[in-house]
Amino acid sequence: MASRRRLPTLGLALAALLAACGGARSDRGTGVERVVLVVCDTLRADRLGLYGYPRGTSPRLDELARESVVFDEAYACAPMTVPAMAGVMTGRFPQEVGVTPGNFRLIPAEVETLAERLKAHGVTTAAVVSNPVLTKRGSPVPGGFEQGFDHFDARMSQREKVRTAMWERPAHHTTDAAIDWLEGARAEGNDRFFLWVHYQDPHGPYTPPEVYAERFAGDHQDSRRVPVGPDKLGRGDIPHYQNLDGEQRVDVYRDLYDAEIAFFDEHVGRLFDWLRDHDLWEGTLVVFTADHGEALGEHEYWFCHGENVYRDVVRVPLLVRYPRGVGAPAAELGPDGVRRVSALVGHVDVRPTIESALGVDPGSRRGRALIGADVPTGRVLPQRLLPDKGRAKWEALSDGRYRLVWHEEEGRHRLYDVLEDPGETVDLAEGNPGRVRAMLDAFKVYEAATREGRAAQAAEAPMDAERLEMMRKLGYVDGEDAEAPLDEPDGASSGTDETR
Ligand SMILES: [Zn+2]
């Protein structure tokens, strides 16, 4: 039996992990004049050329990637629009700012948003959003995503084609609205701004313009047919809001999803062209991501999100185009000429990145600025879907290679190696209890280290020496020894399930 030293406190583990979690830092004088944050709703990273998809869905984003840093393992906090975007705009877990469950609880008025903080520092703020759940829809309740925006354009220009009660704005109108605002800002001589443009197109129903639908109508490799279901869940059947005239062939839906991406890509390209043509590209930090992904049949979930926390719905594309003179994090140059970071990052890193770029102290939050330093290894980030309307809770932890997935109905953890098994089909939990517990422990440390008032939190929580050693061996302390074999023996102590 290993000798029992005096138990270290969680504070010791914290000291080792604080660098990995990232504290407050400021990069005043970075040379960034403005930030354009582009978000595309419901866009899976693996459907983009820059992440290896071969169908030509994203030539304009692929072009942007060649002058950016691409983050290969980036995660949303949640698989639904409102909690996911609350993670982006607050830099915190959505549930801790009161935004969960579902899409109906918007950011409370007392929570300071990214736009509010930038506006307070003299940055003009504008948003063009094309998903109706991002607006207060006339609600008299204070708060919402509108907070802090000098200009908030949520004019939906057409009804959706299947769920006709919903309005949306397609990509060409979204780009036009963004350019309208940019023209006005330019006329006023205002070139220091934060602009958030939120596209909606890949969100179901998949109804791209006909020319795109024709371009992506492919040879179907997957001959499966799935019935249209009675609800919006998509579990084993097609959600009713996706129903395209009773169509059951799954590859027809997948083709149309790809076509929606291509339509969006062409029009986001026009936004980038406008910035280049008007000499605004050079000093612009561009951040591109999605709010969440989409299940395209994985785990028998069809054309839906917000129903589980598997990787296909919480992994997101993330790329950052750093203006000249702004320190991009260390990245590897791939054979395609794209600089890539494989370490885990998340939506919680977006806000501190934007704040740092504009010279605003990001303060203490869950994420860290992806500017000027190595992206830390050893982090563990959560993705959650809290109970809502009878739906059981889902939680996941990602470390950049492994993912722990827990569903309340099942009551146990599943462990996946997403490098070897990106679709999360082979559960490794039974043979690797050490890694399961080390990930839970590492999350506990990260959670405490990034909570407000962390010094007080860190003082007392005891950490068993063996568990700390297990974390170190498996790469969750200082990023050391990340290649430790999977078949570590089980440790002696029992863990509490902090992710529940
Ligand atoms: Zn969404």
Report the CATH number that the domain containing residue 432 is assigned in CATH: 3.30.1120.10
CA of 291 relative to ligand 1 center, distance in Å = 5
Burial 453-466 (b: 16+ CB within 10 A, else e): ebeebbeeeebbbb
* Distance from residue 11's CA to the centre of ligand 1 (Å): 38
Listed residue (467, 442, 449) closest to 378, CA to CA: 442
3-state secondary structure of 2: coil
Say if residue 365 is in the same domain as residue 458.
Answer: no
CA of 222 to the centre of ligand 1 (A): 26
The CA distances from residue 288 to 85, 170, 305, 498, in Å, are 13, 18, 20, 31
Residues that place a CB less than 5 A from ion ligand 1: 41, 81, 291
Q: Give CA–CA dist 156/159, Å, rounded.
A: 8
What total number of domains does the chain contain? 2
CA 188 to ligand 1 center in whole angstroms: 33
Quote the ligand 1 centre to 179 CA distance (angstroms).
23
Q: How many residues does the chain have?
A: 500
- Do 85 and 99 lie in one domain? The reply is yes
Query: How far, in Å, CA of 167 to CA of 169, rounded?
Result: 7
**Residues 417, 312 share a domain:** no
Q: How far, in Å, from the CA of 80 to the mean position of ligand 1?
A: 5
Residue 126's beta-bridge partner residues? 151, 195
| pLDDT greater than 90 at residue 266 | yes
pLDDT for residue 434 is more than 50: yes
Q: Is 223 exposed, middle or buried (0-12, 13-18, 19+ CB in 10 A)?
A: exposed
Residues 386, 329, single domain; the answer is no
Residues 365 and 387 in one domain: no
Domain boundary among 359, 375, 391: 375
Expressed in angstroms and rounded, the spacing between residue 71 Cα and the centre of ligand 1 is 20
Looking at 325, 358, 375, which one is the last position of a domain?
Answer: 375
Instruction: Report the separation in Å between the CA atom of 387 and the middle of ligand 1, taken as the mean of its atom positions.
Output: 18
- pLDDT of 494 reads 32
Which pLDDT value is given to residue 218? 86
Cα 58 to Cα 66: distance, rounded to the nearest angstrom: 13
Range name among 44-53, 102-111, 200-209, 397-406 with the lowest pLDDT average: 102-111
218 and 159 share one domain: yes
Query: Ligand 1 centroid vs 385 CA: distance in angstroms?
Result: 14
Spacing, Cα 301 to ligand 1 middle (Å): 16
- Cα(63) to ligand 1 centroid in Å equals 24
325, 356, 375: which is the final residue of a domain?
375
From the CA of 1, how far away is ligand 1's center (Å)?
A: 51
Q: Which of 159-163, 289-293, 326-330, 417-421 is least confident?
A: 159-163
Q: Are 347 and 87 in contact (CB under 8 A)?
A: yes
Q: Which residue range is the domain that position 459 belongs to?
A: 1-22+377-500
Q: Please indicate, yes or no, whether residues 279 and 421 belong to a single structural domain of this protein.
A: no
Between the CA of 149 and the centroid of ligand 1 the distance, in Å, is: 20
Task: Return the bridge partners of 462, or none.
Answer: 9
**Do both 298 and 418 map to the same domain?**
no
Cα 448 from chain centre: 21
pLDDT per residue as tens digits for the range 125-155: 999 999 999 987 666 677 899 999 999 999 9
pLDDT by residue (tens digit) across 282-341? 999 999 999 999 999 999 999 999 999 999 999 999 999 999 888 899 999 999 899 999
Q: Which pLDDT band holds residue 21 (cuts at 50, 70, 90)?
A: very low
Q: Which residue reads 């498996």 in tokens?
A: 474
CA 41 – ligand 1 centroid, Å: 5
Residue 305 Cα to ligand 1 middle (Å): 8
What sign has the CA pseudo-torsion 12, 15, 18, 20? negative
How far is ligand 1, taken at its centre, from the CA of residue 316, in Å? 11
From CA 98, how far away is CA 144, in angstroms rounded?
Answer: 11
Q: How far is the CA of 203 from the centre of ligand 1 (A)?
A: 7
**With 60 as the cut, is the pLDDT of residue 500 above it?**
no
Whole-angstrom distance, CA of residue 205 vs CA of residue 239: 9
How far is it, in rounded angstroms, from Cα 490 to Cα 67? 45
User: How distant is the alpha carbon of residue 112 from its chain centre?
Assistant: 20
Q: 279 Cβ partners below 8 Å, 6+ apart?
A: none
Interval between CA 85 and ligand 1 midpoint (Å) = 8
Q: Residue 471 C-alpha to ligand 1 middle, in angstroms? A: 34
Question: 435 alpha carbon to ligand 1 midpoint, in Å?
Answer: 32
Distance CA 368, CA 435 (A): 25
State whether 193 and 294 are in the same domain: yes
Give pTM, 2 decimals.
0.88
Q: Are residues 400 and 258 in the same domain?
A: no
Cα(453) to centroid of ligand 1, in Å?
32
**Dihedral-angle region of residue 188 (phi above 0 means left; psi in -120 to 50 means alpha; beta otherwise):** alpha
pLDDT of residue 261: 98
Q: What angle do CA 79, 381, 491 make, to 5 degrees?
A: 125
Lowest mean pLDDT among 280-294, 414-428, 436-450: 436-450
- 162 and 43 within one domain: yes
What lies within 8 Å, CB to CB, of 164 at 6+ separation is: none
Average pLDDT, the chain: 86
Is there a single domain that holds both residue 18 and residue 36?
no
Please report the pLDDT score of residue 30 as a whole number. 65
Tokens linked to 146: 């509108």
388 — pLDDT class (breaks 50, 70, 90): confident
Cα of 407 vs centre of ligand 1, distance in Å, is 21
pLDDT at 467: 72
CATH of the domain at 236: 3.40.720.10
pLDDT at 345 over 50: yes
**How far does the centroid of ligand 1 lie from the alpha carbon of residue 412, in Å?**
28
How many A from CA of 396 to the centre of ligand 1? 19
For residues 403-424, average pLDDT: 96
